[in-house]
Chains A and B, each alone.
Chain A
Amino acid sequence: MSLLEVKNLSTYFDTESGLIKAVDDVSFTIESGEILGLVGESGCGKSVTALSVMGLVPSPPGRIVNGEVRLDGVDLLALSDAELRQIRGRRIAMIFQEPMTSLNPVLTIERQLTEPLELHMNMTRRQAATRSAELLDMVGIPDPEERLWGYPHQLSGGMRQRVMIAMALSCEPELLIADEATTALDVTIQAQILELMQDLTSRLNTALLIITHNLGVVARYADRVNVMYAGKIREKGKAIEIFRDPKHPYTVGLLNTVPQVEGPLSERLEPIEGDIPDLANLPPGCSFQPRCRWATEQCGVEDPTLTELTDGHVTACWEHALVNKGKVLA
C-alpha cells in the first residue's frame, strides 16, 4: 500500500465569474522515502491539490466535490476536524511558500516550535524547548539556543524558511509537502535548503512532495514527476523519462521554453504561444489544444484521458505518438 493515495480528487471553487475546477479528477500516489515533483504554472491547481490533501481548502468558496485522500489506507476526507488535527502536523506537514507570513510575528521561535511538540508528542514545555534547539541545529541555524528566544523579524528569509522546515519536521511526519518552499529564496540559499530536505528525507524515510514551477529543481531532486495544466494531471512518470522523453505537448513546451545555464544555446527561445487559459472559461476538448502545435480536430472536441505508455509513464494526449522534444541535450 502506498503511503499517500489520492484518487479522483476534484476541488471546485464557486466564484463570481463561475465555477472553477481548480483540481479536476486528479489521482497520484507517493511511497515512503520517495520524492515526487508536482509541476505547473500559476493557476494549474498544484497548491489546491496540496491544500486538499491537508484538509485546508477554504470553504466557502472551495469544496472537495469528489475523491479520496488515503494516508496508509485511511480516507482523510471522511475524518472529523478533531481527527484530522491529530494527523495534520503530526503525520503530514507542510512548508508554505512565504516564510514571512507563515510564521507568527508576535510569538518567539521557541513558542512556535514547541507548540506542535507539546500537542502531538506529549512533551513538557522544557523537553520541547530542548528538542526545538536540536531541530534548529539540524537545519543549520547557528546558536540555536539563543535563536529560540528571537522573533521571526530578526531572521533572514533563508533562516525563516529553515525554521519552517524545523517546525514541519519536528514531529517526524511521514509525508512532507513543500509548496514552492524555496521559490522566494536566492539560488544559493535554495540549494542549501533543498540539499537539507533531501538529506532529511533519506535519513528519516520521509516522503516529500515538492510543488514548484521550477523544472530544474524537480530534475535535480525528484524521483517521479506529475505535470499539471488547468486543474488536471497531463503527464506523469519517472523524472528521467519525463525530462528525456516527454510525451505531452505542454511538458515539451515547458522544457523547450525554459532557459538553461548549461547545454547548447539556441538563438531564440521557443515560447509556448498564447496565454494560460481562464479557468472559469476553459476551451472545449483538451484545455491545452489552443496553444498546441500538434492539435488536430479531435483535440477541440474530446478531452483526452490519461493513457499508460510504458510502465508508470502516463500522458493525456491524442497525438502522443507524434509528440517529442525535438532536440536532445548532449
Chain B
Amino acid sequence: MTQTAISETQQASNGAVQPMLEVRDLKVYFPVTKGLILPRQVGSIKAVDDVSFNIMPGETLGLVGESGSGKSTAARTIMQLIRPTAGEVIIDGQDLSKLKGAQLRQTRRRLGIVFQDPVGSLNPRMSAGNIVGEPIKIHRLHQSGQDFRDKVAALLKTVGLNAGMANRFPHEFSGGQRQRLGVARALAAQPGLIVLDEPVSALDVSIQAQIINLLQDLQEQLNVAYLFIAHDLSVVRHIADRVAVMYLGKIVEITTKEKLYANPAHPYTKALLSAVPIADPILDRKRQRIVLDGDIPSPMNPPPGCVFSTRCPVAIDECSSYVPELRETSPDHGTACIRATGYGAE
C-alpha cells in the first residue's frame, strides 16, 4: 500500500522519478554568546555548512563522520527538530523548513526517525502497543479502536515481534527487540523516508546484524528510503547504496558505495577507511595504514582553507588558503579536495 502511494506521487509530477528527499545548501549555525545579563553574540558554530544531497525513493544514503562532524545535527535539521539557519529540505516538492504548525506536522509524516539509544527513546511508562501506535493516533490514521489494535499488531509483526507483545512495557524487551519497536514506530505513519541516527551503535555485535537485515527486508517490501547515519564505515558498507562522508560540518566526499570503498578520493576518507581494522590478521597486515595526527578541530574556530588541512597527510600550502568545494572528480563521484585526482581538471 505504501509502495503504490509513493510511486503514484512520483509519477503524478512529470513522469520522471523525483527524489524522495532533497537537501539544498543546508546551513545550521549555533550562536556563541558571552555575558550572562546582556548576552552578545561573539561567534557561531558552523555545525552544518552548505550541505546538499538527494535521496531517491527506496534508496539508502549512508552519512558517515566522526563525533563533531555534524551528521546528527543534519539529521535533526531534516526532521525540523532543529530549524536550519539557511537552506532547503524538500519533501514531495514542499520545503519543510518554510512550513509551520499543522502543515509542518502533516508533511513531516512522510519522515520517520529511529534513534540511537533503544532505552532512552522509548517511554518506560507506555506499553509497546501505545509506543508503536502513537504516530497512528497523532495523525488519526485509524478508523476505530479495533482498527488501531490491528494496525499495531501488523506493525509488530512486520518488525519480527509477536502481536501479543503489545501489552508489554519497554523493560520487558531485550536491546535488539527495543530497537525493533523503534523501527515499528518509525514505520507507523507510512513514511517515504526514515532517518536512522546510529540505530545499531548501542547494540551488541551479534544483535546488530539482525537489525541491519530487518532494515534491508523492510526496504525491499515497502520501498522506503533511508538516511543511515553512522560513525561505523563497515555497517554502512552493508546497508547503503551511496555514502556521504562529513568532516567538520561539510560533506568532503559523496559517491556510490562501490566507488567509495574501492577508490576513495578524499584523504580523510582514505584515513578513515584505513583506521578500521578488519577481522583477519593476515589481510589486515597487508592494508595501508594512515594514522592521522591530532584531533578534529573545534567547529567554533575552524582552520582557514580546507577544514581537513591541519591533519591531512598530503596537504600543500594552497590547502590552508583555498576552500575546496564539492566537485565531480569522476562520474557520480563528488570530492572536495584539490589534491584529489580529477579535481583540477579545468
Contact = CB atoms under 8 A, between A and B. Distances in A.
A216 B280 CA distance: 7
17 contacts: A158-B295, A186-B66, A187-B275, A191-B289, A191-B292, A192-B291, A213-B205, A218-B279, A254-B205, A257-B206, A261-B233, A261-B234, A261-B276, A262-B283, A263-B278, A269-B212, A276-B207
B238 A265 contact: yes
B246 to A, nearest CB: 12
The main secondary structure of chain B at its interface with chain A is helix
The 9 closest A-B pairs by CB, nearest first: A216-B277, A271-B209, A220-B277, A269-B209, A186-B66, A215-B279, A191-B275, A272-B206, A259-B234
B346 interface: no
Interface string B182-221: 0000000000000000000000111111101100100000
B261 interface: yes
B210 A271 contact: yes
Interface residues of B, number: 44
B216 to A, nearest CB: 7
A265 B257 CA distance: 11
A102 B120 CA distance: 24
A268 B204 CA distance: 18
A313 to B, nearest CB: 14
B206 A41 contact: yes
Contact of B213 (A214, A239, A271): A271
B174 interface: yes
A153 B276 CA distance: 28
Interface string B279-306: 1111111010101110110000000000
Contacts of A204: none
Interface of B: 66-67, 174, 176-177, 204-210, 212-213, 216, 231, 233-235, 237-238, 261, 271-285, 287, 289, 291-293, 295-296
In this complex, the interface size class of chain A, counting residues with CB under 8 Å from chain B, is 35 or more
Contacts of B207: 271, 275-276
A258 B276 CA distance: 12
A263 B277 CA distance: 12
B275 A188 contact: yes
A280 interface: no
Contacts of B261: 261-262
Contact of B281 (A42, A220, A254, A263): A220
